[in-house]
Amino acid sequence: MTATEARVDVIHHSRGEGPTVWFGDAIYTFKATHETTNGSLTFAEASVPPGSGPPPHVHPRADEAFFILSGELEFLNGTETFRAGEGDFVFVPRGTRHCFRNVGLHVSRLLFLFTPSSGLENFFGEIGKPAQAGVAPAPLTDEQKRQIVELAPKHGLRLAL
């Protein structure tokens, strides 16, 4: 290993472990981050309540992949929509306008991956709040919505409403 190469150790998080934040009424648990993978990827689990999901956006520098564990999500692909459910996989190439919304009756659970990592977990951490066991997350406040617009470019995210 050269002096400029960073060492990355094996990462193991047991079920339910990893930094967990409320981002509005959704819950995100980060299993691997920009920091822990030396920028290789970001990997997280999300629980998204009915009617919830991010606004249309673009990741100019990272591809994003989703695996739906449960529930039904409607995805935007540019200007077209499609539905994805339990066991489905969705790949979104960098530069593609996209979003998703839970269109089901129950909380949807999904895994998502950014590669390479753009450090987007820091965006969630700056705007969201640390999750608390036994307490329900609240919808985004007006201040958090303002922060999303303000901080998105800093984190390699372009809103595409």
Residue-wise pLDDT tens digits, 92-146: 999 999 999 999 999 999 999 999 998 889 999 999 999 999 999 999 999 999 9
- Span 20-57, pLDDT tens digits: 999 999 999 999 999 999 999 999 999 999 999 999 99
Burial class (CB in 10 A: 0-12, 13-18, 19+), 76: buried
pLDDT at 1: 46
Residue 6 pLDDT class (50, 70, 90 cuts): low
The residues, ordered by sequence, that sit 6+ positions from 152 with a Cβ below 8 Å of its Cβ are: 57, 123, 158, 159
CATH of region 20-159, choose from 2.60.120.10, 3.40.50.800, 3.30.750.24, 3.90.1300.10: 2.60.120.10
Q: Per-residue pLDDT for 59 more than 50?
A: yes
